[in-house]
Structure 1
């Protein structure tokens, strides 16, 4: 980190009471995880709150709406792969790399609108902003069922990128304001596993929709977009009433509960700085002073390439692994997604139980690596299909570990908004790469695409190690007296904006 704080002398921590008055005036005692839990219990008694019942209430109001929101967004994002398997390319006259280009166009606005959208969440309440995005996303998906040529398909994919851009980082931004770092992983992963269910549902729905081929003069590939888009747009109206706002203005919590949650999170982290307005200039200042934003984005970038490569082209890989009938291929593409759903939640449970992150992320990534190697290295259809299970299970367990870990390590609204949006926005540049490495001419082995996926999975694992090392190094740095004195010798607004750089905040790794 290149900030002044990083230049602080590494003088070992001494007797806290002997330090300067500015240092003493802060609540500097760093509590262990067990001590934080004990303090939270005392706080719950003070506010007359049954914490278990309260957290069940929070879970009920926060997690399911976010799961539904991203389930709809993800299924509408990847359904183009199922449409391709049912003959979309031939029907609208695509040739050469036009299909891949249409996929890539989605990521252009997606990359640029992430940070803007997260900033908008501080101006427009999340339930209004996010439900509006998903309504527009569903409407454009319906439109894709009526495209007649390449130009219309590209235009629709571009609009999808704009409207979907804010959903994923926005969800993690809002979710991360409700949970402490030691209780969040299983919630985040349960949410993220909706992508696995969306992948499974997409194949299953496409399998059934094939029976509509020719109804009202509409091909089965077009029915995929029309039906799934209508479903999304309709449920967006329900989500308007269900999506939670930030805790400070939450509609489902009373004033006593909001105050309890605020103080509970301060015990486990630091002040969120919700009451301070911030600008893009403030976000840029944070970005310049801390390489964590780069590290987390590079790790996610490395995972996006194999993850999207699998999501877009799994039906084709499965079909060419021995299931030559299109409907049969769609049915068999469901099962790896179901395994990924189970694996994601099991890994998350143990990650929260042990209060560590990087070992589980690394382990999941290695499983995905083995799966990709099986698909690439074997000519046996059964082995390649088995590799799909490990690929989906490993990669889609690793990604929520990484995103949740990083989302909760960023604290304060400025750093959290920037960290979640930049990680996902920059990382999705990998989506552009993913759609150009699985080309029809490389079928059925896709050696180039799978080799690139293997390489970037290794890269992501290296970056996960870098993040873990950086977190440990910063924890050690923040424990020094000089760092703490320099940090707290500033205005309250600056301290709030620096969020997790606060010495009282301990990074998980």
Structure 2
């Protein structure tokens, strides 16, 4: 069976389930080849809709609040954060942005291992409670040291959000179904950007209420919202298909079987070991996937953290700045969903990475050369947001859904996001106050890193295509047991990568 070659006449009512029961270390468990039919009184489409309603909305809200709590410092800065905490000198504001990424990068892989061990609804809701409380506390800091402490803790609690959610989504959907879901989830970031601008424009008017500045209320109210939602999400967040209590036993078996047909067996029952981690890092495609994402993190965070300041440099008031920051995020959401729908429709990823990347490069090129036309500069911000925030979910989905099994996907998704977010450190020092309002250095750095992402995508496409052709020429039976193929994941000779 070739896992990635899906038939066009889906949905199918019968899926071959070669693993009615899995016992670690026993090959005999793979000898049966029994059909698993779609459960009675439902269809494949209805079951996917049920999964959509239980998985995607909650993860979207979770990541929307996480990203909002991460970047609302940019909105707070427009309302006087840097002035009150004396962040103007020595690039202190940029250092405060940087320190978030230290724990955020280091603990990605351990977080995904804990996610699998403790179950998603427990781990993700606990992290959500943590970063919500830290955001709330950020509203009460009185000096630079206090801000650094809260930003470090924020990075620590948010470390598992993005790779954990991507990992979880990938364990629910076939590869030809995944891109729309990945992009809709990822577009929580664009919705957070738009939502954050609108919220900040309103909350900023609370300046002086209870003796607190408007920027403090941004942290207090948005952090409090996250804390309240985290308690509800302990009961609402989904787990893996093997543990989902809202599915009937027959539905769980069918979901696992349809995913095995597409991606191979997941080996969900076996714990991840250090040997697994070492084996995964022998694959050169893993490192290329990291650079694909790394190249786009710089422009993405550059835009998220500094677009309010760039818009403010056009001469707008703080309230106008927040309102003008909303439309580019909305446009990015619409463009990203269009790209995702087309990508799933044609079952292809590479072109739908390169085209948005070209759009982002065009936006930065305009910002680099046009300095005396506010309308054109503002339009260029649309292109930057649309391009960067449409290419990123395609890249992450493409890479994650080409990783077979729980172990390779858990480690691989965390690696890609963890390594990629090193770009966040570069982004926070790409746009310095001394370079305002032209930011020649920042725009040039962003273009260079986007080009790096494009080259990495091209290399990844080449490696996957070469692997598929090589496997097509190999004998179909290499003497491997089904257990051995499961352990290999996407390195199995039966596996074919989606291009």
Q: Same fold (TM over 0.5)?
A: yes
Match of 2:71 in 1: 78
Q: Which residue of 2 aligns with 1:503?
A: 493
Query: CA offsets per residue over residues 463-507 of structure 1, 9 Å max, x none?
Result: 11111111111111222335x544x53571x43232111233221
Please tell me whether residue 326 in structure 1 is matched to residue 299 in structure 2. no
What is the match of residue 413 of structure 1? 406
Indicate which of 441, 446, 449 corresponds to 1:453: 446
Distance 2:191 2:4 in 1: 38
Tell me the equivalent position of 2:466: 473
The question of whether the paired residues in 1 share the 8 Å contact of 2:98 and 2:425 is answered with yes
Would you say the 8 A contact 1:299–1:460 is kept in 2? yes
**Which is further off, 54-63 or 494-503?**
494-503
2-structure distance, mates of 1:438, 1:232: 29
Aligned to 1:489: 480
Matched residue, 2:20: none
Shift of 1:239: 1.0
Which of 84, 87, 90 pairs up with 1:91?
A: 84
Match of 2:363 in 1: 371
1:97 match: secondary structure: helix
Q: What is the alpha-carbon distance in structure 2 between the residues aligned to residue 400 and residue 111 of structure 1? A: 19
Match runs of 1:96-245 below 5 Å: 96-245=90-239
Once residues 451 and 342 of structure 1 are traced to their aligned partners in structure 2, the CA distance between those partners, rounded to angstroms, is 27
Does the Cα contact within 8 Å between 1:365 and 1:461 map onto a contact in 2? yes
Q: Distance in 1 between matches of 2:377 and 2:137?
A: 35
- State the Cα distance separating 1:321 from its structure 2 match: 2.4
Distance 1:322 1:372 in 2: 20
- 1:347 lines up with 2:339 in the alignment: yes
Of residues 416, 437, 440, the one that matches 1:444 is 437
8 Å CA contact retained: 1:415, 1:497: no
The one-character-per-residue Cα deviations of 1:21-49 (angstroms, maximum 9, x if unpaired) are xxxxxxx4667322683655566755334
Aligned residues: 477
Q: CA deviation at 1:84?
A: 0.8
Aligned to 1:20: none
Aligned position for 2:393: 400
Question: For the aligned residues, what is the CA RMSD?
Answer: 1.5
CA deviations 1:146-179 (Å, max 9, x no partner) are 1111111111111011100001000011100000
CA contact (8 A) 1:376 1:384 kept: no
Match of 2:374?
A: 381
Calculate the TM-score normalised by the size of structure 2.
0.93
1:34 is matched with 7
Q: What is the aligned counterpart of 2:244 among 246, 250, 258?
A: 250
8 Å Cα contact 2:113/2:410 also seen in 1 = yes
Contact 1:286 1:498 in 2 (8 A): no
Check conservation: 2:12, 2:44, Cα contact below 8 A. Answer: no
Instruction: Tell me if the contact between 1:371 and 1:390 (Cα under 8 Å) persists in the aligned partners.
Output: yes
**Which stretches of structure 1, 4 residues or longer, exceed 6 Å deviation after superposition?**
none
Q: 1:384 to 1:172 in 2, by over 3 A?
A: same
CA deviation digits over 1:232-259, x for unaligned, max 9?
Answer: 1110111111111010011211110000
Is contact 1:319-1:326 (8 Å) kept? yes
Alpha-carbon distance in 2 for matches of 1:429, 1:40: 45
Aligned to 1:336: 328
CA contact (8 A) 1:478 1:502 kept: no
Q: Is the 8 A contact 1:413 1:497 kept in 2?
A: no
Answer yes or no: is the 8 Å Cα contact 1:366–1:394 preserved in 2.
Answer: yes
Q: CA deviation at 1:58?
A: 0.3
* Secondary structure class of the residue paired with 2:177: coil
Q: Which residue in the other structure is 1:301 paired with?
A: 294
CA distance in 2, matches of 1:58, 1:490: 32
Contact 1:39 1:267 (C-alpha < 8 Å) held by counterparts: no
- Give the TM-score of the pair, scaled to structure 1: 0.91
Residues 300 and 40 (structure 1 numbering): CA distance in 2 closer, same or farther, change over 3 Å? farther
Identify unmatched segments of 5+ residues in structure 2.
16-34
- Measure, in 1, the Cα distance between the counterparts of 2:346 and 2:130: 41
Q: Deviations over 1:401-423 (max 9, x none)?
A: 10111111111011000110000
Q: Which runs of 5+ in 1 are unaligned?
A: 1-27
Change (3 A) 1:44 1:199: farther
1:282 to partner: Cα distance: 1.2
- My pick for the range that moved more, 28-37 or 446-455, is 28-37
Tell me the secondary structure at the aligned position of residue 394 of structure 1.
Answer: helix
Distance 1:160 1:46, change over 3 A: closer
Residue 75 of structure 1: how far off its partner (Å): 0.3
SS at match of 2:494: coil
